[in-house]
């Protein structure tokens, strides 16, 4: 009788853990901002594109849903990014369009750099993001707007410190062509599948079903700012 009483809470714990909702995590991470090398204009008609490879190697196929996007921006001191057009396409700034919306951003972590700009983290989340099969796609930023009406630049980091599969990103600018890649993270959820089972997981710290089972059993410078590329 005592053994049975002890087993019920253990089973209940496993069932609770098994239904933990899937949380948005990093689907692709091209690394943190560097902030003092270079940045590329995403205003005045310029478009910057970076590739993403989602989601995990040897996962037997599956899909992922994009629910957010974060990137590092160079801004004039005191300025705030209000919105930017984000699209996800099958090729750099073109091909099949899977998502194309002007979205708002929350600004945080601003620090001044040696050129007199603030380098800030810009984060957005949305409920209408696309669900796509595992593979390689492109994220494109353009038509950024700020509270002061000034240009916005996307920080170039060349993928240093990236943590995504297939990183660093390839990147391009619509006037220049191939460029080094930028600092950004794609957020969302992923679903892996095989010929026999399908399980919903994420690529971050949320435990997968197999890990849940193990846990349960073990108990349990401001000049030239309108140029397409910022540099000296």
Tens-digit pLDDT profile for residues 139-189: 999 999 999 999 999 999 999 999 877 899 999 999 999 999 999 999 999
Lowest-confidence segment of 19-23, 81-85, 95-99, 180-184 by average pLDDT: 19-23
**Region 16-42 average pLDDT:** 78
Cα separation, 101 vs 125, in Å, equals 12
Q: Which domain holds residue 158?
A: 23-206+221-230
Residue whose C-alpha is closest to residue 141's, from 128, 122, 154, 127: 154
Residue 178, in any domain of the structure: yes
What is the number of other CB atoms lying within 10 angstroms of the CB of residue 26?
Answer: 17
More confident residue, 1 or 170: 170
pLDDT at 228: 52
Residue 66, in any domain of the structure: yes
Residue 216, in any domain of the structure: no
pTM of the model: 0.76
Residue 71, in any domain of the structure: yes
Does the pLDDT at position 2 exceed 50? no
List of residues 6+ apart from 85 with CB closer than 8 A: 100, 101, 102, 103, 141, 142, 143, 144
Residue 3, in any domain of the structure: no
Residue 137, in any domain of the structure: yes
Residue 174, in any domain of the structure: yes
Residue position matching structure tokens 């959820």: 189
* Count of domains forming the chain: 1
Residue 192, in any domain of the structure: yes
């Amino acid at each position: 009788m005592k053994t049975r009483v002890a087993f019920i809470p253990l089973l209940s714990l496993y069932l609770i853990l098994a239904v933990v909702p899937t949380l948005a995590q990093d689907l692709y991470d091209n690394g943190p901002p560097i902030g003092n090398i270079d940045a590329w204009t995403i205003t005045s008609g310029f478009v910057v594109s970076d590739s993403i490879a989602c989601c995990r190697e040897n996962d037997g196929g599956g899909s992922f849903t994009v629910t957010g996007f974060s990137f590092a921006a160079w801004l004039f001191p005191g300025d705030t990014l209000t919105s930017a057009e984000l699209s996800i396409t099958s090729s750099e700034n073109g091909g099949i369009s899977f998502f194309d919306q002007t979205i708002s951003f929350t600004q945080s972590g601003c620090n001044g750099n040696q050129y007199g700009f603030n380098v800030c983290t810009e984060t957005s989340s949305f409920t209408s993001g696309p669900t796509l099969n595992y593979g390689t796609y492109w994220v494109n930023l353009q038509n950024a707007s700020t509270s002061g009406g000034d240009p916005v630049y996307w920080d170039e980091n060349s993928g240093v410190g990236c943590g995504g599969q297939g990183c660093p990103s390839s990147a391009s600018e619509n006037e220049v062509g191939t460029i080094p890649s930028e600092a950004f993270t794609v957020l969302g959820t992923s679903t892996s599948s095989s010929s026999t089972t399908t399980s919903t997981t994420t690529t971050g710290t949320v435990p997968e079903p197999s890990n849940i089972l193990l846990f349960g059993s073990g108990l349990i410078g401001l000049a030239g700012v309108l140029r397409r590329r910022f540099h000296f």
